[in-house]
Structure 1
Amino acid sequence: MITSTPVHSQANGQAESSNKIIVNNLQKKLGTKKGKWAEELPFVLWVDKTKSKNETRQTPFSLVFGTEDMIPTEMVIPTSRSCLQNPETNNQDLADDLDVVDELRDSTRIRMATYQQRITKSYNKNVRVRRFQVGDLVLRKAFQNTTDPKDGKLAPQWQALYNIEAEVGKGVYQLLSMDGRILPKSWNAVHLKLYFV
């Protein structure tokens, strides 16, 4: 069972999720020149850090440093933003930006909570809750480590017949095997299917 924790991002899918975005952007940038990924990686990472995200509407750079980022070409080719910078007042402008960075982060937190609620609502409208009663006969989902590797793709999707012993949480059940042995760990209803006699 995978435990979600920010300490071990590789265990809860966060690393794969962010890496997927980086790999997709690299594939778009490289086209047919796949061997040159090392030269393009810094540019792809820069874009990932400086592009505003849907859930926050802010760039990660601005949330950390309290100011908008400038791309390197803006330092070489004059733009309206770089031309309007006044070196004398720049330090004061940066200090003012740091004063309001907490407000920016708070508004971003509120925006993220709203975004997460929308995503949760969208996800939950398609979820079918499976409820079982004590005494119901169920089949347990077969996992890769519980099936015979010789069966290959033809391995059964559901295995063994169990009896619901008790509901230990919302949608979590204690199972009893047909020979009267209680399984050591409880099972989520997602991995169980009602067996019809």
Structure 2
Amino acid sequence: MNRAILEGPKRRISGAHGAWVEELPSVLWAMQTTPKTISRESLFSLAYGTEVVLPPEMVFLTLRTSSYKQKDFEEGLRANLDLLVKRRAKTHLRTLAYKKAIAQVYNHKVRLRPIKVRDLVLRRAEVSDPTRARGKLMPN
């Protein structure tokens, strides 16, 4: 997350030292409102249960902003907040499945080798007993 915060102003500011202060709020806003690839949800929607209305949508009216009614909005917001726990749980499961798939790809060449009693195993030299100084390879 910190790397993403640092990369945002770097891309927008090249050579203008000290201008990052003005760009930081827009970078943070973009991070909170952009859906993440893993969870397919934005941080804003997971926190508040609804999608954000971007500033350009208020200037250039869209179907969503032109058909806005306060009463309908409040009812819809209550319904979204009731379903928010399920959305968070589904997002959590999606994230766990993604991490499991990444681990499988990373570990696909690992072969399990069972260790039996009296097998020689690689041990750290500083952990081994100095009175039985036989080196790194010692019976377990």
- Per the alignment, residue 180 of structure 1 pairs with 131
User: Aligned partners of 1:25, 1:126: CA distance in 2, in Å?
Assistant: 36
Aligned to 1:111: 94
Name the structure 1 match of 2:7.
Answer: 24
Would the alpha carbon gap of residues 34 and 123 (structure 1) be closer, same or farther in structure 2, given more than 3 Å must change? farther
Q: Hey, what's the Cα distance between the residues in 1 that align with 2:84 and 2:68?
A: 20
Q: Judging changes above 3 Å, is the alpha-carbon distance between structure 1 residues 25 and 130 closer, same or farther for their aligned structure 2 residues? A: farther
- Taking the aligned partners of 1:22 and 1:86, their CA distance within structure 2 comes to 36
Specify every segment of 5 or more residues in structure 1 that has no aligned partner in the other structure, as ranges. Answer: 1-17, 141-161, 163-173, 183-192
Q: Give the secondary-structure state (helix, strand or coil) at the position aligned to 2:56.
A: helix
Task: Give secondary structure in 1 for the equivalent of 2:128.
Answer: strand
Whichever residue aligns with residue 131 of structure 2, its letter is G
1:69 lines up with 2:52 in the alignment:
yes
- 2:75 maps to which residue? 92
Per-residue Cα deviation, 1:18-55 (whole angstroms, up to 9, x for no partner): 11111111111112323200000000000111111111
Q: For residue 130 of structure 1, report the CA deviation from its aligned partner.
A: 9.4
Gaps of 5+ in 2: none
Cα distance in 2 for partners of 1:24, 1:129 equals 40
Residue 57 in structure 1 maps to residue 57 in structure 2: no
**CA–CA separation in structure 2 for the residues paired with 1:129 and 1:21:** 37
TM-score by length of 2: 0.78
User: 1:129: how far off?
Assistant: 7.5
**Aligned counterparts of 1:76 and 1:64: Cα–Cα separation in 2:** 25
Tell me, in whole angstroms, the C-alpha distance in 1 between the residues paired with 2:27 and 2:69. Answer: 30
Q: Aligned equivalents of 1:29 and 1:46: distance in 2?
A: 14
Q: Distance in 1 between matches of 2:84 and 2:9?
A: 32
Higher strand share goes to which structure?
Answer: 1
Q: How is 1:1-197 mapped onto 2 (pairs within 5 angstroms)?
A: 18-125=1-108, 133-134=119-120, 162=125, 175-176=127-128, 179-180=130-131
Q: What is the aligned length?
A: 132
Identity %: 33
TM-score (norm 1): 0.57
Higher helix share: 2
| In 2, Cα distance between equivalents of 1:25 and 1:33 | 14
The offset of 1:76, in angstroms, is 2.7
Higher relative contact order (CA 8 A, sep 6+): 2
Cα deviation 1:56-75 (Å, max 9, x = unaligned): 10001111111001112222
